[in-house]
Amino acid sequence: MKKNISITGKNSFIGHNIISNLINCDFTEIDLVGTVVSKIDFSNADAVIHLAAIVHQKKSIPEEIYFKVNSDLAFETAKEVKKQGVQHFIFFSTIKVYGDGGFEDITFNEESKCNPLDGYGKSKLDAEKRLMELADADFTVSIIRPSMVYGKGVKANMHLLSKLVNKLPVIPLGGIHNKRSMVSIDNLMITLEAVINKQETGIYLACDKYPVSTSELVKKLILVINPHKKLVNLPTGVQSLLRIVFPFTMRRISGSFYVDASETHKKLGISSKLVDMDVGLRKMLGKEII
């Protein structure tokens, strides 16, 4: 029997993929903008997936705005969902609750201490704590912390990197030995479906099985886009200098953010189902999978 799932937050990249990929569910999208939460009927839902949020903005916005939407609204919605007798609330958080990563080789997991550094990460962590207080024997709260998501139609950093590889004949991003956790939209959907079916309160990490360095990622993109392009090393000395002059940019390029999701994969029983990054990148770029 199909489950009835309500999704808060309309027209999002992840929401679109949930509706397209989880064929064993019937979905209702709910737009919370300008809507009084107490007037929304959730009663027919088997579960509610909360996607509505303010993510990173190009323009700086006050931290209280992040908290108002990402924490207060999530908590208000969950309370109403519980009041109406729905038994499962799934909250999409972020690995940014751990911080921004860095040049150190640190591994995070479900039990790691959180140390968010910006309004986005802080508000998501605040929401997690408040939502967990609502959980009881009759109300399951599942927290999903996705790594950087990639897939067809994605924007942000992965989109920019793909455009760079497509445009330049020579890409000077070789010799970078960091560890970055990412998650293909396919693997995110596999994780979500298992969370829906398991229906247990807890924190779940959404990541591909293995991390990747920036150089390895560029190599994979080159193979898909144009194998004739060249990847050249960025000398260690130059990397060190750039880290001093442009620390924020270099943290994005050569910093590590490794999240070990092996416990989540084991708990959900999905290790053998996860697809390789090569498959995810080909789908993202609209290339035929051989």
Q: What is the CATH number of the domain that holds 90?
A: 3.40.50.720
Half-sphere exposure of residue 30, counting CA atoms within 13 Å on the CB side? Answer: 22
Residue 226, domain member (yes or no): no
Q: pLDDT of 64-112, one tens digit each?
A: 999 999 999 999 999 999 999 999 999 999 999 999 887 788 899 999 9
Please tell me the predicted confidence (pLDDT) of residue 290. 42
In a domain, 42, yes or no: yes
Active site residue 98: no
Q: Give the distance from CA 151 to its chain's centroid.
A: 11
CB atoms near residue 262 (< 10 Å): 13
Active-site residue, selected from the candidate residues 120, 150, 204, 258: 120
- Looking at the chain, the whole-number percentage of residues with pLDDT higher than 90 is 73
Is residue 192, in this structure, part of any structural domain at all?
yes
Is 31 a member of any domain?
A: yes
- The predicted-structure confidence for 19-70, as pLDDT tens digits, reads as follows 999 988 999 999 998 889 999 999 999 999 999 998 866 678 899 999 999 9
Q: Which residues does residue 5 pair with via DSSP β-bridges, in sequence order?
A: 27, 47
| Residue 172 maps to a domain | no
Name the domain count of the chain: 1
**Structure pTM?**
0.93
Structural domain contains residue 227: no
Nearest Cα to Cα of residue 224 among 138, 159, 287:
287
Q: What is the mean pLDDT of the chain?
A: 91
Band (157; pLDDT cuts 50, 70, 90): confident
* Contact of 90 with 50, CB cutoff 8 Å: yes
- Distance from C-alpha of 233 to C-alpha of 242, rounded to nearest angstrom: 14
What local confidence, expressed as pLDDT, does residue 58 receive? Answer: 61
What's the CA gap between 114 and 91, in Å, rounded? 17
Q: Which tokens hold the place of 186? A: 């396919």
Domain hosting 193: range is: 3-150+182-208+259-275
Tell me the average pLDDT across 251-272: 92
Cα–Cα dist 159/153, whole Å: 9
Residue at 40 is within a domain: yes
Distance (Å) of CA 187 to CA 173, 202, 256, 268 = 26, 19, 21, 12
- Structural domain contains residue 167: no
- Kindly tell me if the per-residue pLDDT of 242 is higher than 90: no
